């Protein structure tokens, strides 16, 4: 993951004041590099901005989880290839890490999935394709750090795979506000994505009701093996900084 520098908050407005309805069935929330220690000189300002973003994203995740939308963490492991995602979480949530408040607020739960990535895109040389296929996903909600790098690269690859893209404007941060605005414009105009703020997204329950939720939990159980594969495969690949 590329390092990010400080900027003022994202000024990009949502495309519309109208509510955006997102079907629960076939949708996944992808959190990109949100488990992050942010350990570089001059990171104080970006840490503050990321903490604000984390609040919006945590609220979105709670609503998504309550509705039955699965969350997938797509994360760099910062070159620690003898480690795994659990150790990465432990490191980034330690009080010695500048990004510990962001990582702690967005800490994954036992219900969540994870993919470790070697480069910028969450799809490149990972098992994300397999996981999304297993969960029967057709729409992705993308959020995280940095909006103009890893989020945008993942959005490009999602578009080429014909996923419908949502990228809430208040749920990503980039090197600068201008960089984040440019990335959002690219997602909206080139990738035909929806960049409405997270507060404008409304999850539409599966019409199958409880039977639909049972089907989701069955798929989640079936994909537990996939999650283990992700950790092992990611641990064998080199990282690009």
pLDDT tops 90 at residue 36: no
> Would you place residue 221 in the very low, low, confident or very high pLDDT band (cuts 50, 70, 90)?
low
The string of DSSP letters for the chain reads: -------PPP-PPPS-SS-EEEESTTEEEEEES-S----STT-HHHHHHHHHHHHHHHHHHHHHHHHT--EEEEE--TT-TTS-HHHHHHHHHSTTSTTHHHHHHT---TT-EEEE-SSSSSSTTSSHHHHHHHTT--EEEEEEE-IIIIIHHHHHHHHHTT-EEE--TTSEE-SSHHHHHHHHHHHHHTS--B---GGGEEEEPPTTTHHHHHHHHHHHHHTHHHHHHHHHHHTTS----
Place of tokens 């076939």: 26
Per-residue model confidence (pLDDT) at position 238: 40
106 vs 5, higher pLDDT: 106
- Residue written as token pair 């199958």: 208
- Give the phi and the psi of residue 165 in degrees, each rounded to 5: -110, 135
Q: Does 236 score more than 50 pLDDT? A: no
pLDDT of residue 124: 94
pLDDT grade for 2, boundaries at 50, 70 and 90: very low
Greater pLDDT, 12 or 33: 33
- In this prediction, residue 76 has a pLDDT band, given cuts at 50, 70 and 90, of confident
Contacts for 25 with CB less than 8 Å, ≥ 6 apart:
206, 208, 212
φ, ψ of residue 31 to 5 degrees: the values are -105, 115
Q: Residue 218: what pLDDT?
A: 55
* Residues 221-227, mean pLDDT to the nearest whole number: 52
- Which of 118-122, 143-147, 158-162, 236-240 has the highest mean predicted lDDT (pLDDT)? 158-162
pLDDT number for residue 6: 40
Rounded CA gap, 16 and 222, in Å? 38
Q: For the whole model, what pTM was predicted?
A: 0.79
Higher pLDDT, 69 or 206: 69
Q: State the Cα–Cα distance between residues 31 and 8, nearest whole angstrom.
A: 21
Q: In whole angstroms, how far apart are CA 22 and each of 8, 95, 166, 228?
A: 29, 36, 9, 29
Before 122, cis peptide (omega within 30)? no
The CATH classification number of 22-234 equals: 3.40.50.850
Most confident of 4-18, 77-91, 164-178: 164-178
Q: Point out which residues pair with 204 in neighbouring strands.
A: 23
Q: Quick one: pLDDT at residue 240?
A: 36
- Residue 63, pLDDT > 70, answer yes
């Amino acid at each position: 993951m590329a390092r990010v520098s400080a900027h003022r908050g994202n000024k990009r407005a949502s495309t519309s004041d109208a509510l955006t309805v997102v079907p629960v069935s076939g949708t996944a929330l992808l959190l990109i590099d949100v488990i992050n220690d942010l350990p570089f000189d001059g990171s104080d300002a970006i840490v503050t901005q990321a903490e604000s973003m984390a609040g919006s994203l945590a609220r979105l995740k709670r609503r998504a989880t309550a509705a039955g939308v699965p969350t997938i963490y797509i994360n760099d492991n910062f070159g620690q290839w003898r480690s795994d995602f659990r150790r990465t979480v432990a490191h980034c949530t330690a009080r010695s890490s500048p990004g510990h408040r962001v990582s702690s607020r967005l800490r994954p739960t036992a219900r969540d999935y994870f993919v470790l990535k070697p480069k910028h895109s969450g799809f490149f040389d990972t098992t994300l394709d397999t996981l999304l296929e297993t969960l029967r996903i057709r729409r992705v909600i993308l959020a995280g750090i940095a909006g103009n790098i890893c989020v945008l690269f993942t959005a490009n690859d999602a578009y080429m795979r014909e996923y419908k893209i949502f990228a809430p404007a208040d749920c990503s941060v980039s090197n600068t506000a201008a960089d984040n605005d440019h990335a959002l414009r690219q997602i909206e105009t080139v990738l035909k994505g929806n960049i409405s703020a997270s507060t404008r997204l409304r999850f539409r329950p599966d019409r199958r009701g409880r039977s639909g939720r049972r089907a989701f939990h069955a798929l989640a159980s079936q994909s537990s093996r996939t999650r283990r594969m992700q950790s092992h495969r990611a641990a064998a690949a080199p990282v690009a900084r």
